[in-house]
Structure 1
């Protein structure tokens, strides 16, 4: 069994298993919805692991989901105080998410996303910054939130993996989902396995990677990432903060935010799924 790190934070758990570092989103009561506190803890753990002898990092979620995406509950930053922010402040907040994800992109050790249950909206954005994504076959994956609250922040990054037409399909229909098998067919994920086998599959892959010396892994990752960067991956990620901040100033988004606050997130989701 992995050993639990004594420096565990509240929302992200770090466990070591030989050359593998397991980072677990541990907010199961909210389906591991991404809060800024959670992403800050993730960044702190990654900074610590840079100085460790870990060879590979695996990201996963506790409970029923990898992550339901950004926290859009009525008391969250995404909805609760949206009306108090200027467009510049909103853009800066979105850019902070990208900064946290870029820590994964630039992390010297390969990072595997082991995805099960639900992987929604911002969680797919996070997975796209990982080096390898493995999924459970029955995983439910959605590029856009179940309630349309933004535009152009997440789905453009999908274009790099699945092509623009599929990215548009996933973006235009609020909460449009695909399963793990389809995610592999489209190119979003590397492999799909039965949910019961996901942890061992990710472990076996990580152990295979760990046989390669750390310095070689680091340079291989840097070289391949550079190709994506030359094709504009990080530029597009940064532009998304601008377009989302713009759309957040519109009456349509204000109406959506009020809907969530008035009837609750579950009822708002049901409205769009119906």
Structure 2
């Protein structure tokens, strides 16, 4: 069994990249991010025409790894605000690489797609979601802000981006995500894999040089709105929030009780006031 955090499979003109940390819902750690960066660099020099990014197990990607032993939480207090900003900007550059990748990149989103996972999917060229996918713009416990929501604003507008950002852990289905414009389309779960495969191979009928120029034309239009600039600005906002006492408190909860325990503490008063409420719809 291959336990590499990223699996690469060639299927004719289509390359499948599978995030392979299913026990962590494919949360992104430094190793996975490094492998994504190097793999996209290699593929940029290949004759592949389409790249599909998907997740193993029951999630596409749950975001950045915020486990107690992760670099996101475990060593957060050791970084200055500037060091943290530079680390966040390095991730922006990784995802910008996907935006500028010569080949079209499809994000095939099933199961959970949360926080940084939505950032990853948003910088892909086409996002296809399963109807029953669970899409969450921010973590279920507020650990930052301004890093991911600008991408949501670009896709769904400021009102919905603020709703998804302000209300920690708010979840929408894949079907709603497509209705809002966050995803290109949503398909029933039982048809999802076959639909993604057919779409990828259908696009791959077009020669790479034509696809590259088509992608650049649409990207230029999107970039006139300042998309890449406000992504970088968001890293600064996030870095500032990471040094606030409130975020330090939430990080200490994660270290003490783990992610689930910290979320439970964060939701305690809400659940007491609204005992019949599902934490987020």
TM-score range, shorter chain: over 0.9
* 1:137 equivalent in alignment to 2:137: no
Q: CA deviation at 1:9?
A: 8.1
Residue 257 of structure 1 is aligned with which of 242, 251, 257?
251
Please tell me whether residue 23 in structure 1 is matched to residue 54 in structure 2: no
Aligned mates of 2:109, 2:266 — CA distance in 1: 25
Distance 1:177 1:271 in 2: 19
Instruction: Check the 8 A contact 1:143/1:175 in 2, yes or no.
Output: yes
SS of structure 2 residue aligned to 1:264: helix
Match of 2:197 in 1: 203
TM-score, normalized by length of structure 2? 0.93
Paired with 1:35 and 1:263, the residues of 2 have a C-alpha distance of 20
**Per-residue Cα deviation, 1:178-210 (whole angstroms, up to 9, x for no partner):** 000000110000111122321211111111111
Q: Which has the higher mean CA deviation after the structures are superposed, 238-247 or 263-272?
A: 263-272
CA contact (8 A) 1:115 1:136 kept: yes
The reply on whether 1:123 has 2:123 as its aligned counterpart is no
- Structure 1 stretches (4+) deviating beyond 3 angstroms? 271-274
- Structure-2 separation of matches of 1:237 and 1:199: 31
Query: Following the alignment from structure 1 to structure 2, what is the Cα–Cα distance between the partners of residues 237 and 197?
Result: 34
Paired position in structure 1 for 2:68: 74
- Give the structure 1 partner of residue 217 of structure 2: 223
Q: Normalising by structure 1, what TM-score?
A: 0.95
**Which blocks of at least 5 consecutive residues in structure 1 are unaligned?**
1-7
Is 2:253–2:261's contact at 8 Å kept on the other side of the alignment?
no
1:32 is aligned to: 26
Question: RMSD of aligned C-alpha atoms?
Answer: 1.3
**Aligned counterparts of 1:11 and 1:35: Cα–Cα separation in 2:** 9
Distance 2:225 2:210 in 1: 23
What is the number of equivalent residue pairs in this alignment? 268
CA distance in structure 2 between the partners assigned to 1:36 and 1:198 by the alignment: 29
Residue segments in structure 2 that go unaligned for 5+ positions in a row: 272-281
Query: Structure 2: how far apart are the matches of 1:218 and 1:209?
Result: 12
